[in-house]
Structure 1
Amino acid sequence: MVVYQVYPRSFADSGGDGLGDLAGITARLDHLAWLGVDALWLSPINPSPMADGGYDVADYRGVDPSFGTVEDVERLACEATDRGIDLLLDIVPCHTSIEHPWFRERPELYVWSPVDGPPNNWRANFGGPAWTEDRHGRGWYLHSFYPEQPDLDWRNPEVARELAAVLSFWRGKGVAGFRLDALQQLLKDPELRDDPPATRPRLLAGETDYETLEHVHSSDQPGVEEPLRALRRGAGADAFLVGEIGLPCDRHGPYLGPLDASFCFELFFSAWEAEALAAGIRAGLATGKPAWVLSNHDFPRLADRIGRENVAAAALLLLALPGPVFLFQGDELALGNGPGRPAGAAEAPPYDRAGRDPFRHPMPWTEKPPHHGFTTGAPWLDVVVPPSGSAERQREDPGSPAAHTRELIALRRGLVGPVEELSARDGVLSFRRGAVGVAVNTAERPREQPWTGSVLHRTSSRSDDLLNPGSGTFVQVV
């Protein structure tokens, strides 16, 4: 299964207001059909004040007017289905917006401090205290992320019933499945005990005070399978459910029973080095239900993270792995980062306060300036065109990154069996899927091809016996 992630604000604008929308996505479905993807995942489209790019939901059953209407979702689902593409929605079950009617009218659905003030030392994922005083004087509420995102209390059975009904509602509109956000935050310690100081080294540069604690009480609590069973019941047995679980893969086990897959971020964050990539693959495979991803809307573009010269080999590696694979819009074009928020623009919606706008620039559909087919108006972010050109140009060029991605997706359908003979030697990552050998050279010099047989696909023009730096191959092994 190959899933194409769309960040709706940046995909295609049908109305000329500079913001992508659902009608624009529908109008560009033929690009996804040309690539050969199986499903389309939309980042959040619900009504939202946009304190966190739509991950602060004000109405689970509505559509933000900037994107369209519920009827537009139904139309998109129908048009996608006609092209053999399933529609997946992003569901945020951990928290709502502070503007959701539930927060005003049903405070019992949220987590509140039992004392007048923060009851513990918990920190929010984006930094700062995880407790904020309610502006209406009702006490202090918990927020695992921004203060505008109060946490739902999943120990209250009403929350499970409400969210299950939300999934059932969208299934009735033609939606085939869901990406479930931040599942590690569903349950918290009922005693609200302090988190102990962190003892492990930091994993990423630029981390906040969130990383000063070990989150043994504020997240990842026992009993999480029951809330997920409720979501499964709401979605139906035939729905596709993939979980975003902000934990190492070896801690995904308790979440996986009701899910079809969980994202493997060990591979996502691996250095572009054979040993590190092999370790990331092993970590994902060990879960038994990995979903593979190398890029998304929250982190720098793949071309900027690993170097544009390695993007083709990364696509080959990703699309060779078993299980669901997720591509972020523009990855097929080798799209890079942009400048982000325009100079002088206020740090307010639709711009992202966490600085992620450079990774969310609009798709370049055509070669025609100034906005390359994204909009007839002024785009919310500049349209960046990669060196290989727009989507239109790349579809016409058999040597382009998009054509390469399309060919790999087609070849992927012939791959069978598990990953076997996984190896990392002399900078070359290799493994076998059935009778097909996969090899990627992460070294700075050419390396010998580890497989003997006929080449099914290569990302460079070097001879069958050698792999260029940053290149990869599929080989029919003899």
Structure 2
Amino acid sequence: MPITTTQQQWWKESVVYQIWPRSFADGDGDGIGDLAGIASRLDHLATLGVDVLWLSPIYPSPQDDAGYDISDYRDIDPTFGSMEEFDALLAAVHERGMKLVMDLVVNHTSDEHPWFVESRASKDNPKRDWYWWRSAREGMSAGDPGAEPNNWGSIFSGPAWELDETTGEYYLHLFSRKQPDLNWENPEVRQAVYSMMRWWLDRGIDGFRMDVINFISKDASLPDGHAHDGGLYGDGMPFFVDGPRMHEFLQEMHREVFAGREGLISVGEMPGVTVEEAKLYTDPARREVDMVFQFEHVQVDHGPSFWDIRPLRLRDLKAILGRWQAGLAEVGWNSLYWNNHDQPRVVSRFGDDGAHRVHAAKMLGTLLHLHRGTPYVYQGEELGMTNAPFDSIEDFRDIQSLNHYAEAVGMGADPETVLAALRIRSRDNARTPMQWDDTENAGFTTGTPWIAVNPNHKGINAQAAFADDDSVFHHYRRLIELRHTEPAVAHGDFHMLLADHDQVYAFTRRYGSTGLLVLANFFGDPATIEVPDAGRWQDAELLLGNYPVDATEKLRDLTLRPFEARIYRLR
């Protein structure tokens, strides 16, 4: 693991389902999702047909960043249940023929983790060097404005350094000030992490999704970053993304943790990673990770900042995804996703969450699942769940959103303008409770939900979707079944068609004597196209679509209806 033979790379034929435990299902009525709730809904996932469940963090945590600030790597947060409940859940997942993957967050810990509590106790503590501690800038005193060791900004707003009054030094936190960065230069840190990973694998889990794993190697000189015009802080990313020892650390991790174990999966979340680096990370011969999460395609509608929202240009999206398909065609592997806990709902973002919601959700799912790579379904995506109608800042819970609002308004921005961006982009859009039925709290909880349920659950819910054979749920079920039964979906090559078309996304997949043609109208107006090599495809079988199709329809001058998607197969 990674393994060199296609037969052993089972994850190429698999579909992963991400669960955000806090919002999936509440088993004890306290308004927060938990392990008992997840266990009660496993049959939903088995019916959908997914192969792997990925759990976002369930470890003990102060919940400053929704569990990505871990205070104990070897236990379960009481909010979610107990270790006994986890073991029972793991057994139930395996009984249904599925695998379970844990989130691994080792770029940083919580500031309440015992390692950091020791580290900050004194400058000569044995764990002092487990984190990044530095004195004030030369010639300045700790606490002076601008005295931080360098000018890096935190991804969650503000500086990336926090002054600790006990020792008068600063510690690095690329995220929240309660998420101090581990110092991977220290071999004791690495061995402690590997020991923890082996402990979980010995317990029976099937792998890890590794949070911002390509941040763990920093340029140890910690130079200043470039300060963009008008920016308060410098951009440190060139000095901690894909850093100087990154490949060395992952290869060491493989030797120490994964070598000699079979049937596992390792996924590296890697913001800022390039195609060239990803090819190295996922080359089976290098033994680093099986696949990476890249972010380029979900930044296609960003301006200079995360909160600067631009209209989607389909040509740009095709260029990005096409480049990743081509770059990892011979060596390496793609993760395919539209949604996760950090992204707004794709049907609201790139589709239509109004009259065409069902067609748009099906189109987006069809496109994603027919690319080459392993698809990820985020909870509620299979229902076509949408962004939430947040009214005021009091409706938000996400630290990134709250910090941005406070900073932007504090600098004089119009609060309504800031809120408008939050409603579109906030991570809370992905974190509203799973919509199981049309009851008051969508079947998520008998208590008061920790964040409001989207009111559209009256019409958009699992119970209704399951009963409707034409629902988004059953379309996703058919897409997953197609991956399991048609080898060209998992193993075929990829060839982009109509790369310069502004409305239609089209490509082919080929494996042996089987060819697949995928056509999708990405927008709400009809689109007429001439299908490349139309005569060859005229006798192809329509495998799946999201509208009724006349079998005698010619492909030469084909009109695709709003958000229409089709998959043809030619043997």
The answer on whether the counterparts of 2:526 and 2:561 sit within 8 Å (CA) in structure 1 is yes
Which amino acid in 2 is paired with 1:379? P
Partner of 1:70: 83
Distance in 2 (alpha carbons) for counterparts of 1:457 and 1:393: 22
2:278 aligned residue (249, 252, 263): 252
Alignment of 1:406 onto 2:406: no
Kindly report which structure 2 residues correspond to 1:346-361, keeping only aligned pairs within 5 A, or say none. Answer: 355-361=426-432
The answer on whether the counterparts of 1:53 and 1:350 sit within 8 Å (CA) in structure 2 is no
Partner of 1:85: 98
Per the alignment, do residues 72 and 220 of structure 1 end up closer, same or farther by CA in structure 2, a change over 3 Å counting?
Answer: same
Greater shift, 408-417 or 390-399, is seen at 408-417
- Deviation digits for residues 316-358 of structure 1 (CA, Å, limit 9, x no counterpart): 0111122211111000100012245988579699996565323
Alignment of 1:397 onto 2:468: yes
Distance in 1 (alpha carbons) for counterparts of 2:269 and 2:232: 22
Distance in 1 (alpha carbons) for counterparts of 2:363 and 2:267: 25
Greater shift, 252-261 or 176-185, is seen at 252-261
Shift of 1:126: 1.8
Partner of 2:368: 318
Shift of 1:198: 4.7
The answer on whether the counterparts of 2:504 and 2:522 sit within 8 Å (CA) in structure 1 is yes
Alignment of 1:371 onto 2:441: yes
Distance in 1 (alpha carbons) for counterparts of 2:91 and 2:446: 26
Greater shift, 2-11 or 163-172, is seen at 163-172
Shift of 1:387: 7.2
- Deviation digits for residues 203-237 of structure 1 (CA, Å, limit 9, x no counterpart): xxxx9756x53632244311111221233245424
- Deviation digits for residues 246-290 of structure 1 (CA, Å, limit 9, x no counterpart): 114324345444100001323334465542332122232214321
The answer on whether the counterparts of 2:152 and 2:236 sit within 8 Å (CA) in structure 1 is no
* Structure number with larger C-alpha Rg: 2
Alignment of 1:261 onto 2:291: yes
SS of the residue 2:568 aligns to: strand
Kindly report which structure 2 residues correspond to 1:230-249, keeping only aligned pairs within 5 A, or say none. Answer: 230-237=252-259, 238=262, 239-249=264-274
Flag structure 1 segments of 5+ consecutive residues without an equivalent.
200-206
Greater shift, 466-475 or 262-271, is seen at 262-271
SS of the residue 1:172 aligns to: helix
Distance in 2 (alpha carbons) for counterparts of 1:346 and 1:197: 30
2:130 aligned residue (100, 109, 119): 109
Distance in 2 (alpha carbons) for counterparts of 1:402 and 1:245: 29
Aligned sequence identity (%): 35
Partner of 2:567: 474
Which amino acid in 1 is paired with 2:387? N
The answer on whether the counterparts of 2:371 and 2:494 sit within 8 Å (CA) in structure 1 is no
The answer on whether the counterparts of 1:289 and 1:323 sit within 8 Å (CA) in structure 2 is yes
- Deviation digits for residues 367-413 of structure 1 (CA, Å, limit 9, x no counterpart): 3x211211111111222245753101111111000011101111122
Which amino acid in 2 is paired with 1:461? P
Per the alignment, do residues 107 and 153 of structure 1 end up closer, same or farther by CA in structure 2, a change over 3 Å counting?
Answer: same
Per the alignment, do residues 33 and 14 of structure 1 end up closer, same or farther by CA in structure 2, a change over 3 Å counting?
Answer: same
Question: What is the total number of aligned residue pairs between the two structures?
Answer: 469
SS of the residue 2:569 aligns to: strand
Alignment of 1:454 onto 2:536: no
Per the alignment, do residues 158 and 275 of structure 1 end up closer, same or farther by CA in structure 2, a change over 3 Å counting?
Answer: same
Greater shift, 347-356 or 463-472, is seen at 347-356
- Deviation digits for residues 153-182 of structure 1 (CA, Å, limit 9, x no counterpart): 000001110111111111122210111011
Per the alignment, do residues 180 and 344 of structure 1 end up closer, same or farther by CA in structure 2, a change over 3 Å counting?
Answer: closer
SS of the residue 1:216 aligns to: helix
TM-score (norm 2): 0.77
Per the alignment, do residues 387 and 83 of structure 1 end up closer, same or farther by CA in structure 2, a change over 3 Å counting?
Answer: same
Partner of 2:452: 382
2:506 aligned residue (430, 433, 439): 430
Partner of 1:204: none
Distance in 2 (alpha carbons) for counterparts of 1:353 and 1:30: 38
Partner of 2:408: none
Partner of 1:95: 108
CA RMSD across the alignment: 2.6
The answer on whether the counterparts of 1:23 and 1:72 sit within 8 Å (CA) in structure 2 is yes
2:247 aligned residue (225, 232, 235): 225
2:337 aligned residue (266, 287, 293): 293
Shift of 1:88: 0.7
2:161 aligned residue (119, 122, 131): 131
The answer on whether the counterparts of 1:320 and 1:415 sit within 8 Å (CA) in structure 2 is no
Distance in 2 (alpha carbons) for counterparts of 1:21 and 1:51: 18
Shift of 1:462: 4.3
1:173 aligned residue (188, 200, 203): 203
SS of the residue 2:133 aligns to: coil
Per the alignment, do residues 342 and 58 of structure 1 end up closer, same or farther by CA in structure 2, a change over 3 Å counting?
Answer: farther
Shift of 1:294: 0.4
Partner of 1:202: none
Structure having the larger proportion of residues in helix: 2
Per the alignment, do residues 352 and 361 of structure 1 end up closer, same or farther by CA in structure 2, a change over 3 Å counting?
Answer: farther
Per the alignment, do residues 195 and 470 of structure 1 end up closer, same or farther by CA in structure 2, a change over 3 Å counting?
Answer: same
1:186 aligned residue (186, 200, 216): 216
2:387 aligned residue (313, 331, 337): 337
Partner of 1:36: 49
Partner of 2:124: none
Partner of 2:7: none
1:278 aligned residue (318, 333, 342): 318
The answer on whether the counterparts of 1:340 and 1:359 sit within 8 Å (CA) in structure 2 is no
Distance in 1 (alpha carbons) for counterparts of 2:397 and 2:100: 32
The answer on whether the counterparts of 1:267 and 1:284 sit within 8 Å (CA) in structure 2 is no
- Deviation digits for residues 428-459 of structure 1 (CA, Å, limit 9, x no counterpart): 22222222211112252233473431211011
Which amino acid in 2 is paired with 1:228? L
Which amino acid in 2 is paired with 1:12? A
Per the alignment, do residues 404 and 164 of structure 1 end up closer, same or farther by CA in structure 2, a change over 3 Å counting?
Answer: same
Partner of 1:327: 377
Distance in 2 (alpha carbons) for counterparts of 1:388 and 1:270: 31
Partner of 1:419: 493
SS of the residue 1:188 aligns to: coil
The answer on whether the counterparts of 2:100 and 2:205 sit within 8 Å (CA) in structure 1 is yes
Distance in 2 (alpha carbons) for counterparts of 1:350 and 1:83: 37
Shift of 1:311: 1.8
Greater shift, 224-233 or 182-191, is seen at 224-233
Per the alignment, do residues 456 and 29 of structure 1 end up closer, same or farther by CA in structure 2, a change over 3 Å counting?
Answer: same
The answer on whether the counterparts of 2:395 and 2:452 sit within 8 Å (CA) in structure 1 is no
Per the alignment, do residues 89 and 449 of structure 1 end up closer, same or farther by CA in structure 2, a change over 3 Å counting?
Answer: farther
SS of the residue 2:376 aligns to: strand
Per the alignment, do residues 344 and 428 of structure 1 end up closer, same or farther by CA in structure 2, a change over 3 Å counting?
Answer: closer
Structure 1 consecutive aligned stretches of length 4 or more whose deviation exceeds 6 Å: 345-352
